Structure 1
Amino acid sequence: MSGDLARQAMTVLHPGYEGASTPDWMRRALGEGLGGVVLFARNVIDAQLVRNLRAENPDAVISIDEEGGTVTRLEVLAGSSFPGNRALGVVDDTSLTERVARQIGRMLGELDITLNYAPDADVNSNPANPVIGVRSFGPTADLVSRHTVAYVNGVQGAGVAACAKHFPGHGDTVTDSHLDLPTVHASREEFLARDLPPFRAAIGAGVRAIMSGHLLIPALDPSLPATLSRTVMTELLRDELGFDGMLVTDAIEMRAVAAMFSPGEIAVRALNAGVDAICVGICTEEIVYEVRDAIVAAVRAGDLPEERLAEAAGRVRALSEWYAGQAALRDKARGDVDRRVGLEAARAALTTSGTATLDRGPLIIEVNTRHNKAVDPSTPTGITAALTAELPNTARLQLEPAAELPDLRDDERPVVLVVHDAARHAWVRETVARAVAMRPDVIVVDTGIPAPPGEAVHVATHGISRVSAQAAAEWLTR
C-alpha cells in the first residue's frame, strides 16, 4: 500500500470513539495521519484530552456538536449555559445570537477544539419534524438565514470554525435520519426558495465547513441521499452556491445511509459526490481501517479519482491551517467573558400565558417524550432541578407515554406539568387536557415546540437548557 495514498485516506476520516479514555488505536491512527476526531460527552472532554490528541497529530481537526440548548457535549450533566436556536429565533435579536455564539466559540477555543458542528441552519418548516424542532432558529428562511449568519460570525469571531448543517436542509422531514432515510417531497423551486437561503447566507458569511444531511430529495436527485449525490454536493453546493470549504458528512453509521451500504462504500460514494471528510460518530479500530482500505482500493481500481481524494484531504488540511491562523482571535476571546448572556437570552425567549406564583413546593409531573438521537441521553430538562432550588419541597413524578395520569383533584400541592413538543404529540396534548380538567390551576411548562396554550397557565421555554429552566423557575416563583 502506498504510504502517501493511505495517509490521504486517513486524512479524510473523522471518527469518534467510545469511553472516557482515548483508545490505543485512536492514538496510533492519529500518528498515521488521521485527519480528525469527533468528541462526545461520553469522552469526558477537557483541555488535557485535547492536548493528548494533538500530541499524536497537531494538525488534527478536533470537532464537537456544541449547538447550545438541547444538543450539548460539554455541559451535558447540568444542561447548557445557553438556550438553543429556537429560543434565539423567538427573541429575534441577531446581536444577541452573535453574543451567545461567541461565548460558545470561546469555550471551545479554550479547549483547543477546531470545529463546532453548528449552527443548525435547517428551516423547521414541518412542525412534525422529529429530529430538528427546537434545534432550528425557526420556520422561515429569512429568520433562519439572519441568525445563521450571526451564529457563524460569533463562533468564527472567537477563532473557532463553524459548520452549517444539514445541507441541503432537514427541516421538512417527518423521519429521523438516525433511524431511516427521510424524504423531502417538495418541488425543486419550493425547496431552493425555502431551504437553501440559510446555507447561501452562511457561505456569504464565510462559514468554514458545511455538514451534509442524509436526505432523499427527489426533486434534486431521485435515487441517492444528498450525502452520496454529486448533483447535490458538487453541482449544487460547490458549483451553484460557490462553497469551497470543508464538506463533512453527518455520521455515516446513521441508518439513513448505513442501511444501504457498508461504511467503506458510503465513504467512497460520499467522496465521489464531493464530500471531504467522513464523520463516523460511533467507531472502532476495525471500521477505521476498513474504511481507509476501501478508499485506497477504490483509487487503485479507478473508482475514485486520486485527485478527488487529494482535493478532499487538502480541504481538511486547509481548515486546520485556518484554525492555526486564528490564535490571536482565540486569545482575545478568552478575555471577552460574557457569563450572563445565556440567561439573558433565555429570559427574553420565555413566552407566557396567564399568571401564577408558586409559594410552596409543587408536584412536578414530567410527561416524558423521547428526545431524538442527536441529544445525549444524559441531558436533563432542568425544570425540576431549577424549581427545587427555589422551593425545596418540590416533588417529581415521571409519566411515561402509556402511564395513566394520577388523580390530582385531592392533591393540595400546586401541580406543574412539564412537557416537550406538545405541538407534535397528540398524547401529550391529551394528557394536558386531562390534567386541566382535573385541576384548572395546573401550570404547563413546554420545553419544545409548544401547542397553543389553552386556558391553563402556560410557560414556553422554546428549548432545553439549564438557563431556560432557570428562567422558567424565576418566572414561576417571583
Structure 2
Amino acid sequence: MKKLSMLVGLWSMLIIGFLSGCSGNQPTSPANPSPPVPAPEASSEPPPSPSAPIAEKDAIRERIDKMTLEEKIGQMIIAGVQGTSASSEDERMIKEQHVGGIIFYKNNLSDPSSVVRFANQLKQWNESHSVPLLLTVDQEGGRVSRLPGLDLLPTAQEIGQWNNREAAGEIGAILGEELKGMGLNMNFAPVLDINNNPKNPVIGDRSFGSTAEIVSSMGIEVMKKMKQTGVIPVVKHFPGHGDTETDSHLDLPVIHKSEKDLTQLEWKPFASAIEEGADAVMVAHILFPQIDEQYPSSLSRAVVTGQLRDKLGFEGVILTDDLTMGAIVNRYGIGEASVLSVQAGTDIVLIAHEYSNVDKVIAALKQSVADGTLSEERIDESVRRILQLKTKFNLEDKPVDPPDLTLLNERISKAIDTYRIQ
C-alpha cells in the first residue's frame, strides 16, 4: 500500500505539471531559480538605415514592373552624341531606344548657351518617359576640362600638393556648380587613381598624388562637396589605373598585381570613398592576370562583383569606362563586350562614340535575355540601382536658363589665389 500511495502521488504531480504547462498561465517559479540573464545594454549607435526608405523601394519596384525590357535596357546605357546641337539621331536614341544617359565631350560643347540649349532639347525629348536623363561629362579640372566659358581649375596633382581639405572641398563644390549651371547632373570625377608609375601615359597630373593617404583625403573632399551641389560624382578608375604604362584608349593595359597588392595600395581610396557614401564607381579596362586571366576588369566578374561588390561592399551604381576604347574594341565586339560587362555585374555601359554602336549594344542585350544568357531579373537589379540613384539626387528633366558665369569664374580665381602655394 505504501508503494501504491507513492505511485499515486507521483502520477498526481505529473498530471498537475502537465496541466500547468498547457495553460496560458506562467508556471510556478522553482524553489531555487537560476539567476536572471541581464538584458543586453542598449546600443548608443542608431540602427543601420536601409539604402532607401521602404516606401521609396516599393515605388521603384512598381516603376520597374511597368517598364518594358527595351526601356530597362535603355536605362543601362549612357551614349555619346555628335556635333554641338541635338540631332534626329539623338531624338531617336531618347524617344525610341529609351537611352538613360548622355555623355558630352569637348567637341560637343562650343559655348555655355549652346550647351544649355543642347541639354534642354534632350530633356524635352525625354519628357514622355517617367525616368529623367543622366547628362554627364568629364570635368576634372586641369587638362581634363570639357565645359566652355570657365576659367581653368588647377590639376588634381596641384590640389594634392596643397594638401588642404578645405581647398579640395571648394574645388569639388565649384566643379558641381559648373555642371549644374549648364544643366548637367553627373560628373565623371574625381580620379582616385594613385600616381605610382612615372611612365603612366594617361593619369599623371590627373591624380592627387602618389600615396593612398593624399589621394583619399583630397579625392573624398572633392566628392563630398560636389555631391552637396546635387551633381552625382563618379569616382574612377577602379581597381586603379595609376600603375599602367599603356593608355587604355589605345590598347589594353596589363598589371601583374595580386589582390593582396591592390588591397595594400590601389583599393584604399576607393574603399574610403565607399565608406564615405560614394554613389557611383567607374571601372577601368585593365587586365589583372593574377585575378582574372581572361577578362579585363570592366568585363570581369572577379573584379566587378567579387572585389567591388563583395569585398568592398559597394551597393551603388557601377559604370564601365567607354567601351569604344581600344582596350575593348581591339579584342571584342561592342555587343559582346556589353553582355560580358553586365554578366560581370556592371549597371551602366558607357558607349561614347557612334550611334551604330548603341544599336549593337541594345540588340546584344535584348538577345542575351531572349536566349537566357542574361535573366530579366539581372537586368532589373541594375535598373533598380539606377532608379534609386536618380531618385536620391532628385533628378528632373526641367530646362535651365543659360548661365552667367561671372560669379563662378570669380570664385575660381579666389580659390586659386587663396590656396595656391606661392
Normalising by structure 2, we get a TM-score of: 0.76
In 2, are the aligned partners of 1:69 and 1:79 still within 8 Å (CA)? Answer: no
Give, in whole Å, the separation in 2 of the partners of 1:237 and 1:187.
15
> What pairs with 1:17-56 in structure 2 (closer than 5 Å)?
17-32=81-96, 33-44=98-109, 46-56=115-125
Q: Deviations over 1:349-404 (max 9, x none)?
A: 7678xxxxxxxxxxxxxxxxxxxxxxxxxxxxxxxxxxxxxxxxxxxxxxxxxxxx
SS state at 2:205 partner: helix
Amino acid at match of 2:72: Q
User: Could you tell me which of 296, 300, 304 is aligned with 2:374?
Assistant: 304
In 1, are the aligned partners of 2:83 and 2:107 still within 8 Å (CA)? Answer: yes
Segments of structure 1 that go 5 or more residues without pairing to the other structure are 353-478
Instruction: Find the counterpart in structure 2 of residue 171 from structure 1.
Output: 242
Amino acid at match of 1:20: T
SS state at 1:67 partner: strand
Is the deviation greater in 106-115 or in 144-153?
A: 106-115
In 2, are the aligned partners of 1:41 and 1:74 still within 8 Å (CA)? Answer: yes
> What pairs with 1:423-438 in structure 2 (closer than 5 Å)?
none
Q: Name the one with the larger helix percent.
A: 2
Instruction: Find the counterpart in structure 1 of residue 312 from structure 2.
Output: 241
Q: Compute the displacement of 1:150 (Å).
A: 0.3
SS state at 2:201 partner: coil
Q: Deviations over 1:293-333 (max 9, x none)?
A: 11000011111121111111222222222221699xx9xxx
Matched, 1:150 2:221: yes
Q: Deviations over 1:127-175 (max 9, x none)?
A: 1100000000011011101111101111101111000000110000000
The structure-2 alpha-carbon separation of the partners of 1:104 and 1:261, relative to structure 1 and needing over 3 Å to count, comes to same
Amino acid at match of 1:253: T
Segments of structure 2 that go 5 or more residues without pairing to the other structure are 1-65
The structure-2 alpha-carbon separation of the partners of 1:185 and 1:287, relative to structure 1 and needing over 3 Å to count, comes to same
Give, in whole Å, the separation in 2 of the partners of 1:324 and 1:255.
35
Give, in whole Å, the separation in 2 of the partners of 1:144 and 1:204.
15
Quick check: which has more Rg, 1 or 2?
Answer: 2
SS state at 1:30 partner: helix
Give, in whole Å, the separation in 1 of the partners of 2:394 and 2:331.
38
Q: Compute the displacement of 1:81 (Å).
A: 2.7
Q: Deviations over 1:104-141 (max 9, x none)?
A: 10121122212100001100111110000000001101
The structure-2 alpha-carbon separation of the partners of 1:289 and 1:261, relative to structure 1 and needing over 3 Å to count, comes to same
Give, in whole Å, the separation in 2 of the partners of 1:40 and 1:23.
16
In 1, are the aligned partners of 2:150 and 2:405 still within 8 Å (CA)? Answer: no
Is the deviation greater in 14-23 or in 224-233?
A: 14-23
Instruction: Find the counterpart in structure 2 of residue 216 from structure 1.
Output: 287
Matched, 1:161 2:232: yes
Amino acid at match of 2:394: A
> What pairs with 1:222-301 in structure 2 (closer than 5 Å)?
222-284=293-355, 286-301=356-371
Instruction: Find the counterpart in structure 1 of residue 9 from structure 2.
Output: none
Instruction: Find the counterpart in structure 2 of residue 400 from structure 1.
Output: none
Give, in whole Å, the separation in 1 of the partners of 2:256 and 2:421.
32
Give, in whole Å, the separation in 2 of the partners of 1:340 and 1:273.
45
Amino acid at match of 2:287: L
Matched, 1:113 2:178: no
Give, in whole Å, the separation in 1 of the partners of 2:67 and 2:364.
15
Matched, 1:195 2:257: no
In 2, are the aligned partners of 1:15 and 1:288 still within 8 Å (CA)? Answer: yes
Q: Compute the displacement of 1:338 (Å).
A: 5.9
Percent identity at matched positions?
32
Instruction: Find the counterpart in structure 1 of residue 412 from structure 2.
Output: 342
The structure-2 alpha-carbon separation of the partners of 1:153 and 1:305, relative to structure 1 and needing over 3 Å to count, comes to same
Matched, 1:11 2:84: no
Amino acid at match of 2:124: A
Matched, 1:137 2:137: no
Amino acid at match of 1:186: K
SS state at 1:159 partner: coil
Instruction: Find the counterpart in structure 1 of residue 62 from structure 2.
Output: none
Give, in whole Å, the separation in 1 of the partners of 2:333 and 2:224.
37
Normalising by structure 1, we get a TM-score of: 0.68
Aligned residues: 343
The structure-2 alpha-carbon separation of the partners of 1:177 and 1:79, relative to structure 1 and needing over 3 Å to count, comes to farther
Q: After TM superposition, which residue ranges in structure 1, 4 or more long, deviate above 4 angstroms?
A: 334-341, 344-352
Instruction: Find the counterpart in structure 1 of residue 198 from structure 2.
Output: 127
